[in-house]
A and B are shown apart, each in its own frame.
Chain A
Amino acid sequence: MTANADGVQAQIAAVDAIGSAVQTFAGRARASSDQARSLARAFEREAGEEHARRYEELKDARARRDAAAQVLRACTENCGGLERALAEAESAVQVATRRADASARAVAQIGEAIHGFSRAHGTFTTALDNHVSRATGSTSQLSSQLQQYLGSMGEGNRPGSHERSSVPPGSSSNSRGSVANVALSQIDDDRSEALTFDKVPRDQVVSGLDRLKSVVEPAVAMGKGSEYFSSRDTSAGLSGDQSYSGVHRWFYDSDHAIKLTRTESGRYAVTNGYHRLAVARAMGIDSLPAIVR
């Protein structure tokens, strides 16, 4: 174990960050894999319905062809028009047969693909459950041990309070306030009017919060700053608001960060960031970085 308190703090931050990254990944992976399976099944239903329609069209085309053939058999003179009608009906049967065959092949192909995917889905979710629960169990245990060790060094424990200062190198900390991680349970952000997402779409807020929790916040806890995020963006080919730099700016730059004011009751009132707070609550996030005044 590291000999000095700063080293232990950094190790705790890394251990917590790994636990958090794994848990966030598990949630997002489950959501997208479940949604993929559900979309595939919906498509299978649609294809089945389309095939049933085409099969009915084929039956109708055959009935019309049989009727045309019967009329032609009864014809004794000037039967040219009836012969043409039979030829057209036969051609319609051929088209309907091709269409029904194609939809039958599509239905079979979808069924086979879903069968294979369901097996992979089952294997993956089992692996996800096992590895994520063990990894988070290990990181949680290790974090507790490190905190106890830190306490025994006389440096005090790190988390536990609802406001934990985390002013990182490279992030914004100036006369207008410093960034701290604040528990959402301590923030009063109820608003009488409904929030609209005209300026920043809700999906973008969700995606930004995902990146904050899975990458940016753990990296900030490790002391990483804007240069680090720029370099990660370059290697991942990311740019704009959804890049790691963009998310870092959005939550740690004094112009954009969530801003709170501590009230007499010891809780927090919101000055800026209602949308992020509302979406974070809906996502089950329990704390966010904010500038507290």
Chain B
Amino acid sequence: MSIVGPEEMAFERALADLDAGLQSTEAWRDDQRTRLERSQLIPLRAAANTFLQALRSLDKSLDAARRLLAE
């Protein structure tokens, strides 16, 4: 099991639940929703995606370091 793998999975689940939560409200779509999406929700989702990449990269680096320690 990788070192931060469980946290990576927890973050992915939280992100999937956020997406599902937002999709479940798709019936409400007007100018206010569009403004909210453009100003907050889309940037939040983008920041979360970037952070998820950082989390994956950390996981890979720590795994490589663990392999070095096993030498």
Contact = CB atoms under 8 A, between A and B. Distances in A.
Interface of A: 10-11, 13-15, 17-18, 20-22, 24-25, 28-29, 31-33, 35-36, 39-40, 43, 47, 50, 98-99, 102-103, 105-107, 109-110, 112-114, 116-117, 120-121, 123-124, 127-128, 131-132, 134-135, 138-139, 142, 207, 210-211, 214-215, 218-219, 222, 224, 228, 232, 236, 244
A214 B25 contact: no
Contacts of A31: 10
B50 A222 contact: no
B19 to A, nearest CB: 9
A22 B44 contact: yes
Nearest to A29: B14
B17 A131 contact: no
B25 to A, nearest CB: 4
Nearest to A126: B47
A62 B43 CA distance: 57
Interface in B35-68: 36, 39-41, 43-44, 47-48, 50-51, 54-55, 57-58, 61-62, 64-66, 68
The winner among A14, A31, A121 for most chain B CB atoms within 10 A is A14
15 contacts: A14-B33, A18-B21, A106-B65, A106-B69, A110-B61, A110-B65, A117-B55, A128-B44, A128-B47, A132-B44, A214-B17, A214-B21, A215-B24, A218-B24, A218-B25
Nearest to B24: A219
The main secondary structure of chain A at its interface with chain B is helix
B36 to A, nearest CB: 6
Nearest to A132: B44
A215 B17 contact: yes
Interface residues of B, number: 44
The winner among A17, A134, A138, A215 for most chain B CB atoms within 10 A is A215
B14 A36 contact: no
Contact of B17 (A47, A107, A114, A211): A211
The main secondary structure of chain B at its interface with chain A is helix
Contacts of A21: 17-18, 21-22, 25
Given A98-B71, A109-B61, A10 B18 contact: no
Nearest to A236: B16
A168 to B, nearest CB: 12
B15 A36 contact: no
Contacts of A106: 65-66, 68-69
A134 B39 contact: yes
Contact of A124 (B17, B36, B48, B71): B48
A22 B69 contact: no
Contacts of A224: 24
Given A117-B58, A124-B50, A232-B24, 7 more contacts: A17-B25, A21-B17, A103-B68, A116-B54, A117-B55, A132-B44, A214-B18
